[in-house]
Amino acid sequence: MRFYPANLDALLVELSNLDETLALFESLQQMPIAGVEEIVPAARTLLVHFRPSAIGFDALATQIASRDIRGKAREAGKLIEIPVHYNGEDLADVARELDISVEEVIRRHTGSDYNVAFCGFAPGFAYLSGGAGFVVPRRSTPRTRIPAGAVALAGGFSGIYPQASPGGWQIIGVTTSTMWDLGRDEPALLQPGYRVRFQDAGPLPETRVQVAAPVRPQATTVSEDYLQIETPGLQTLFQDLGRPGRAGQGVSASGALDRGALRAANRAVGNDPATACLEILMGGLTFTCQGQTVVAITGAQVSVEVLTAEGRFMRLFLYRTAIRSASVPRLPACAIIWRFVAVSFMSRCS
């Protein structure tokens, strides 16, 4: 094992091969180390996120290095069965590459269980190892669009595209199983450690089953109190605390650049600390407060101008120390993160 610092709160473990990686991943899942918050597996590495207040880099590396992963047999994970219509555009090419018949490709692909080694590339895209043991090259020319549900091979892995996207894997079939669904408690159908068994679903029906997209609620106006954006500036984004803990499913944490400023802004106006805010980069934002609103600005020091509806300048209340609690009217509130120094905005409050 080799250990590399990936951040102040992340450690990268490099191993010799996929088997060692999966064995260590399983060991750390079964016997967690205090202070470890998330483990993201890949082909030959594990990215370990930890709380520096609970455990240090050296202590964590020492504990991981002490794990005996030689010759460890993996426990059987949850079995997911995937029906496949083997009509892929590259199926015949794969058969020629392997020097076997198309029928034999299908028989072997459905004849052994695969293991979900890790996820990445796109939310819900799982890299499946083992199984038939096929090793085929990627396409020399990637496709600009591969349909959702495409079952494909590349290198020593099998995979299923969760949504339409570019890609260079060899397509051997298609499934109507939904690989990524935000309406489920666990959006990703396949998780690291799961087993996958492909089933031959026969010819594709003339009318292909379309997987319905999740129904999203329509945005509605629920109040006369709101923030009207006049000019968005160079870049203004809605940001919250992100989606930590989903990296193993191919979803990065994302979220605000300055999470402390986001929490402080929300506390100042009485919001839940995780409420989405406006994050402004390089300034230029102007907006109008319609109705009764409470606005907090946190982050870098900036020059702020506020005008009344009559065009008079208003005095701002500035807090240079941390706000432990704030008593504010229970009104619709908007908290704003201002992340960079070279910014200014103008607001007319009516």
In sequence order, what DSSP letters do the residues of 29-46 get, joined into one string? HHSPPTTEEEEEE-SSEE
102-111 and 91-98 are packed helices; what angle lies between their axes, rounded to 10 degrees? 90
Name the least confident of 137-146, 208-217, 264-273.
208-217
Listed in sequence order, the residues at least 6 apart from 160 whose beta carbon sits closer than 8 Å to its beta carbon are 82, 125, 126, 149, 150, 151, 152, 175, 177, 179, 190
- Identify the structural domains of the chain with CATH numbers, from first to last: 2-66 (3.30.1360.40), 79-200 (2.40.100.10), 226-345 (2.60.120)
Instruction: Output the DSSP codes for 151-166.
Output: EEEEBTEEEE-SSSEE
Judged against a pLDDT cut of 50, whether residue 332 lies above it is answered with no
Pairing assessment for the beta strands 346-349 and 285-290 based on DSSP bridges: parallel
| Res 215: pLDDT | 57
- Per-residue pLDDT, averaged over 222-244, amounts to 81
| Res 126: pLDDT | 93
Q: pLDDT tens digits for 334-347?
A: 444 443 222 223 33
The DSSP call for residue 208 is P
Q: pLDDT tens digits for 30-46?
A: 899 999 999 988 889 99
264 SS3 class: helix
Instruction: Output the DSSP codes for 57-101.
Output: HHHHHHHHHT---TTPPPPP--EEEEEEB---TTHHHHHHHHTS-
Which bin fits 189, alpha (ψ -120 to 50), beta or left (φ > 0)?
A: alpha
Name the least confident of 9-13, 98-102, 189-193.
189-193
Q: Of 87, 80, 81, whose CA–CA distance to 174 is shortest?
A: 87
- Comparing 282 with 209, which gets the higher pLDDT? 282
